[in-house]
Chain A
Amino acid sequence: MFDDSEDGDGDRNIVLKLMRLWQDERHAPDLLLFQGDVVERALQLLSDQGDLVTRLQTREDTSEEEHFKMMLVRTEMERVKFVIRSYLRTRLYKIERYAPYVLSTPEIQPRLSAMELAHAAKYGTLIASQFNSAVLAHVPESLRTLDDDDMHYTPAIVTKPNLDLGVFVHARANCPNIRMSDGNTVEIHKDDLQLLRYRSVEDALRRGLVELV
């Protein structure tokens, strides 16, 4: 990964943290807490590393071997960028998909960055204006609502994340209190691999006791 001889474990940890954030976000049906500081630090590291590589590459006394190493470093940098991009895009995808839900659920909003929340608001407005101009403006007024609840055989219009989705969970520590959907509590041990409902592990995930794989 990163050259960990100088700043040592710190840099390496950021990348590992980023990888876990990315995997968790990719596997979780719900939006997780945005970790802006990790993303920002990773970008800062990439920026510094980029400067360093450029400097070394233009120096005459850089050896062949060092040039080869730098090629590896730069490839690795591209791979880290890939992870950041995929992380951010996965979040944008969920934010757009659940925009009306995010906007009508204040409890969820602290999990988003200011930019993400603004994005959700803009996307919600954009979709609503599409529905309005293509369809709703041409139908009876009583049918123009976009927040119809789940009633009388018609499911609710606002899509929510499916918290009952099954997820593969790897325990990073012992988790004594995993509440199952039937109300029972089970314990999962460190390094166990389990298939559970997302709802059951939501809390443990938030506390960093488990990771999604």
Chain B
Amino acid sequence: MSEFKMFGEQAMGLIVEARRAAAQTASDPSTLPPKYSEMAVQNVCRELRMLDEDFQRTLAIHYARSDDDPGVAPPKPIVCAVTMYDQAMKRNKRILLAYIQSRLDRLRDLYWGAGGALAHLLGNAALRERLSPHEVDFLRQYHDMVVVARAEYEFGDILDLTAGIDVPPKELHVDVRVLKDIGDVHTEQGTIDFRKGQRFQLRRPDIEHLIVQGYLEEIRH
């Protein structure tokens, strides 16, 4: 296999992908993560198994030769080869874990950015197609954990742990424009039937989640 890449070369592609995604997110926080690179991950896993075979084979050669005296130190070429295989495997493994972790971290940010609205997040088809089945699973289980934490601090509906923490509230009320039809929402001013294009002045805590989920847009003066 002449074009088959070895010793971490394939894994490097995953690192580049993760770094590029991080840079894009830094310049535009609304960037979605790239599609999960299932093929690349599988290829690196395969490389790992091949490296392990080479590793075991090299060791076996040494043990076969040193049958009479198992205590003898392996000759240098064997030590070098074994070390190289070992390092390549560890490197590949760590790159895979880092790749997975970088994506989970990003998903967690998206989750909190959406105010913990799991259905809203998973309903986003563009995001959904970029995730692996494991990652969708992760979001679901993470959501369950956050629901527990949120209930712990709710204190009779006083605190919503998942509301925004980016900008401290300066005013109680906020001017909003309705971007998508929502229907009836209970607010302190009574039930409001939100229709696209309408404008309202409302208490921020009542509708903050609707801003986060993109139904309402804050009008800044």
B138, B158, B171: which contacts A81 (Cβ < 8 A)?
A: B158
A115, A134, A142: which contacts B100 (Cβ < 8 A)?
A: A134
- Is B193 at the interface (CB under 8 A from chain A)? no
Given contacts A47-B156, A130-B100, A131-B100, contact A75 B169 (CB under 8 A): yes
The binding surface of chain A is classed by DSSP as helix
Q: How far is the CB of B120 from chain A (nearest CB, A)?
A: 19
- Is B48 at the interface (CB under 8 A from chain A)? yes
Q: B residues near A, CB below 8 A? A: 41-42, 45, 48-49, 52, 86-87, 89-91, 93-94, 96-97, 100-101, 104, 108, 112, 132, 134-135, 138, 141-142, 145, 148-149, 152-153, 155-156, 158-161, 163, 165, 168-172, 204-205
Instruction: Provide the residues of chain A in CB contact with B41, threshold 8 Å.
Output: 134-135
Instruction: Provide the residues of chain B in CB contact with A84, threshold 8 Å.
Output: 153, 159
Complex Cα distance, B49 from A139, in Å, reads 6
Q: Are A78 and B145 in contact (CB under 8 A)?
A: no
The 8 listed contacts between A and B (C-beta, < 8 Å) are: A46-B155, A118-B148, A119-B145, A119-B149, A126-B138, A139-B49, A143-B89, A152-B87
New contact pairs (18) apart from A78-B205, A126-B145, A139-B48, CB-CB < 8 Å: A43-B159, A74-B172, A75-B170, A78-B204, A81-B158, A84-B159, A88-B149, A89-B161, A134-B41, A134-B134, A135-B93, A138-B42, A140-B89, A152-B87, A154-B87, A154-B90, A157-B94, A157-B97
Q: Are B158 and A43 in contact (CB under 8 A)?
A: yes
